[in-house]
Amino acid sequence: MTAPRILIADDQPDVLEALRLLLKSEGFAVDTVTSPGAVYRAVEANAYDLLLIDLNYARDTTSGSEGLELLEQLHAYDELLPVVVMTAWGSVDLAVAAMRLGARDFVQKPWENEKLLATLRTHVELGRALRKGQRLEAVLRAGDDHPALIAQSRAMRPVLDMIERIGPSDANVLITGENGTGKGVIARALHARSRRAARPLVSVNVGGLPESLFESELFGHVKGAFTDARVDRVGRFELADGGTLFLDEIANVPPAQQAKLLRVLETGEFERVGSSQTRRTDVRLLSATNARLDEEVERGRFRQDLFFRLRTVEIHLPPLRDRRDDIPPLASHFLSAHAARYRKNISGFDESAMKALLAHEWTGNVRELDHSVERAVLMAAGSTIRAQDLGLTRPSADRAPRIEDMSIEEVEMLLIRKALARFAGNVSRAAEALGLSRSALYRRIQRYGL
């Protein structure tokens, strides 16, 4: 996985340099600018995974209006580009205004390094997932102006039928399936067909949240609730009020937090961390997992009542190997997207490439297909994709590498893959088996692109 590319905007040189050194040391590729105009020019000229922008500039140090105007322009230009805002002056009202205009998160100066890095990594991954979800949607629109999914196989017909039937309802939906099958795409399709479509769709990757920040991220906190709580914070349930909240990797909700999640789903009530004031929210909850929640319930790792509350309706996505009729249209869609992105004139796949695509097992499903086509676009020397451009290989037991021939990183990747496979993708259980904290394992999963 390529290093995340981040653009930082701040008019204070010392702040820019501190952030640049911090993020570079953590493996990010970093560009810096000092003005709102330079932000927009940089975004037009480059592809970024995330923007970290100050809301206050020298000409406007109190209201944040210049930063908010920039944020509005950026959201109009690319609504999927994650923007995290920061300010040393703003109140919670300014932060909420930024979130309403499309910011994914906010941080307060002076920042705490570990928390800032966790925030940025989470939103880089979510942003990349949303990009993949966008590429999984057809460019063509259905007659009712809802996104039409690329799915023509018999195996996907029940999924499409379920989306049309339950999309307009407020039913909670549990979306299941292997990694890379497109669960986030289904969540977006359900939201688009609901009466809440004009309201926010707020996505949270539960697996990427440190347990210590879980409650604050979902429910918010008040100033002084804990050491780093320097300002009031609005949680995801509050931001999604009137809209849809999508919790990915729901199996990784910490056991201590499951009762609080159940309560807000049953009553719509919650309190910010450090506050006794009860608040209300009206959200439709969509959740996703590649784990067997019924088995987690049997093992006592997941509350049965929460499981039933999440699974009013379940939509199971078949793996790509069981929907091979969808491979050609999906591959063509990804080809068009990546050829445009890299400004390459590629018209399609030759016969050998298409045979290779149809024969491959796709253990990483649609996500793996997307990556393979992107690689092929970069490697292609002519106007068509050839089989060798795809770089697909068949696993062979007699070619398995020996531990003594592997680097430390390769051994670590192998152990992580085996643990994730053993526990069906459940990060919490894999981390426990590996002797790591959940957040430490998740950082390694992001680093290795697993």
Tokens coding 308: 């039933």
Q: Given this model, what pLDDT does residue 318 score? A: 93
The listed range with the strongest mean pLDDT (7-11, 54-58, 92-96, 408-412) is 7-11
Look at residue 130 in the predicted model and tell me its pLDDT. Answer: 65
* pLDDT, tens only, 306-334: 999 999 999 999 999 999 999 999 999 89
Residue 448, pLDDT > 90, answer: no
Neighbours of 91 (CB within 10 A): 12
pLDDT, mean of residues 421-447 = 76
pLDDT tens digits for range 51-67: 999 887 654 444 557 77
Q: Which fold has domain 5-122?
A: Rossmann fold (3.40.50)
What architecture (CATH level 2) is domain 142-318? 3-Layer(aba) Sandwich (3.40)
For residue range 199-223, list pLDDT tens digits in order: 888 888 887 777 778 888 899 888 8
With beta carbons less than 8 A apart as the criterion, state whether 133 and 185 touch.
yes
Q: Residue 176, Cα to own-chain centre: how many angstroms?
A: 16
SS3 content of the chain, % helix, strand, coil (to 5): 50, 15, 35
Give the torsion sign (CA, 420, 421, 423, 424).
Answer: positive
Segment of 130-144, 338-352, 409-423, 425-439 carrying the highest mean pLDDT:
338-352
The pTM for the full model equals 0.62
Residue 165 phi/psi, 5-degree rounding, is: -80, -40
- Give whole-number Cα distances, 378 to 239, 344, 371, in Å: 39, 8, 11
pLDDT over threshold 50, residue 135:
no
- Per CATH, which fold does 400-448 belong to? Arc Repressor Mutant, subunit A (1.10.10)
Predicted pLDDT at 147 = 43
Q: What percent of the chain has pLDDT over 70?
A: 87
45 strand-pairing partners: none
Q: What is the predicted pLDDT for the residue at 137?
A: 44
Cβ partners under 8 Å of residue 175, min gap 6: 183, 186, 187, 286, 287, 288, 289, 314, 315, 316, 317
Hey, do 5-122 and 142-318 end up sharing a CATH topology, with the first three levels equal?
A: yes
Closest CA to 84 of 65, 103, 64, 66: 103
* pLDDT above 80 for 255: yes
Q: Please state which CATH number belongs to domain 321-390.
A: 1.10.8.60
pLDDT tens-digit readout, 95-111? 677 777 878 888 878 88
Give residue 175's pLDDT: 96
Centroid of chain to Cα 85: 18
Q: Packing angle between helix 92-100 and helix 65-77, nearest 10 degrees? A: 20
Dig out the tokens for 88 from the structure.
Answer: 């040393």
The token pair that represents 37 in the structure block: 């105009």
End-to-end CA distance of the chain: 9
Amino acid at 203: S
Tell me which of 138 and 4 has the higher pLDDT: 4
Amino acid 88: pLDDT: 65
pLDDT of residue 327: 93
Q: Which of 30-34, 87-91, 184-188, 262-266 has the lowest mean pLDDT?
A: 87-91
For the chain, the domains span 5-122, 142-318, 321-390, 400-448
User: Residue 158 pLDDT more than 50?
Assistant: yes
Question: Mean pLDDT over all residues of the chain?
Answer: 83
* Residue 267 pLDDT > 90: yes
Please count the other Cβ atoms lying within 10 Å of the Cβ belonging to residue 302: 24
Joined tokens for residue 158:
């029940």
DSSP character at residue 347: -
| Mean pLDDT, range 280-302, rounded to an integer | 92
Distance of alpha carbon 362 from the chain centroid: 21
* Structure tokens belonging to residue 41: 């020019």
CA pair distance 134, 138, nearest whole angstrom: 8
